Amino acid sequence: MKKISVFTSGGDAPGMNACLRAVVRTALFHKLEITGILHGYDGMIKGEFIPMNAKSVSGIIQRGGTILKTARSAEFMTPAGMKKAKENLEKNGIEGVIAIGGDGTFKGALEFSSICSIPFIGCPGTIDNDLIGTDFTIGYDTAINTVVEAVDKIRDTAESHDRLFFVEVMGRDAGLIALRSGIGSGAEAILISEAKTDMEQLIRHLKDGRKDKASKIVIVSEQEGTGSVMKVAEEVKKALPFYDIRVSVLGHIQRGGNPTCMDRVNSSRMGFSAVEALMDGKKSTMIGIINNKITYTPFENAVKHLDELHPDLVGMMKILAL
């Protein structure tokens, strides 16, 4: 193997740049030529290949987002789009590709492998932490720390006005951001995608809770079973009109910001291992870290997990919220 490419795809996540930096410098150490592909699969189709060297990735380990840009490509999921991507990889002499992204990125690479023999290795870049095959995905630690910091500030104003705040966090299909950040911020309740919300139980919990609490925080995973955070807040307001209720949607601030040390180190380990996996002949495989050890999970198994999340953490949260 003499030449490889790297790209970022799907939603951006803090730590993608750290992973990219590790990929480029590890490739150069092994005397491999490396190019970056701009705008994910869309750039692969359009031929947006750029040469990369050690200087290309200088000063980026602390930056959120991705210097290679990212995009979702509907065209790539068509036979014509995949054919263009294959032709561009071959035209540029690419012998291996490292994809930094999430579930959709790996599904695309797996399908692409049916028409293209060039091996793909994946690094799990998604703040949702919803992939099987790694304890923590790239960006997850930064995202939950961002949420906790924001909720700490919200609680200051909540306590000043004796208010009940509903705070919506990301996690349309997985509630791991809500669960961990809710515990970390001392939330009174956490509503997650994996469990249908019992509004009667929530209302009873808020009504019967300690009366001397100056503030109450409820963390809501976006678009969870009962509906939007606004709908949940409205139902609680109808049942408990004496509460001064406010809603805060954190939105895309959870994707941005400087990655934490944990995300920088994990991302670097994954990027380093991805290059070595390509050189060892692996393909259609996601790099992960489980129990602090590098692991390899086939793309077909590295899918979103929608199972019940950490019942021990849920049980602990209920006790600590008393």
Q: Which residues are catalytic?
A: 128
Residue 17 forms part of a structural domain: yes
Residue 305 forms part of a structural domain: no
* Nearest alpha carbon to residue 155 among 198, 184, 197: 184
What is the spatial distance between Cα 287 and Cα 281, in angstroms, rounded to a whole number?
14
- Residue 279's pLDDT is 97
Q: What is the DSSP letter of 56?
A: G
Neighbouring residues of 277: CB distance < 8 A, sequence distance ≥ 6: 121, 285, 287, 296
Residue 284 forms part of a structural domain: yes
In a shared domain, residues 135 and 266: yes
Residue 39 forms part of a structural domain: yes
- Residue 202's pLDDT is 84
Residue 266 forms part of a structural domain: yes
Domain hosting residue 26, numbered range = 3-139+259-298
What is the spatial distance between Cα 19 and Cα 255, in angstroms, rounded to a whole number?
16
In a shared domain, residues 31 and 102: yes
In a shared domain, residues 175 and 230: yes
Residue 153 forms part of a structural domain: yes
Count of domains forming the chain: 2
Q: Write the CATH number for 68.
A: 3.40.50.450
In a shared domain, residues 12 and 132: yes
In a shared domain, residues 280 and 236: no
In a shared domain, residues 247 and 155: yes
Parallel, antiparallel or unpaired: strands 163-169 and 244-249: parallel
In a shared domain, residues 173 and 216: yes
Residue 312 forms part of a structural domain: no
* Cα dist from 218 to 65, 189, 202, 226, 321, whole Å: 28, 5, 10, 14, 10
Judged by DSSP in three states, 98 sits in strand
In a shared domain, residues 196 and 47: no
Per-residue pLDDT of the chain (322 residues; tens, 9 = 90+): 999 999 999 999 999 999 999 999 999 999 999 999 999 999 999 999 999 999 999 999 999 999 999 988 999 999 999 999 999 999 999 999 999 999 999 999 999 999 999 999 999 999 999 899 999 999 999 999 999 999 999 999 888 888 899 999 998 777 889 989 999 999 988 888 776 677 888 888 888 776 666 678 999 988 644 458 888 899 999 998 988 999 999 989 999 999 999 999 999 999 999 999 999 999 999 999 999 999 999 999 987 665 556 667 767 766 765 5
Q: Write the CATH number for 181.
A: 3.40.50.460
In a shared domain, residues 94 and 197: no
Residue 215 forms part of a structural domain: yes
In a shared domain, residues 112 and 155: no
In a shared domain, residues 130 and 160: no
In a shared domain, residues 151 and 123: no
- Residue 166's pLDDT is 94
Nearest-Å Rg of the Cα atoms of the chain is 22
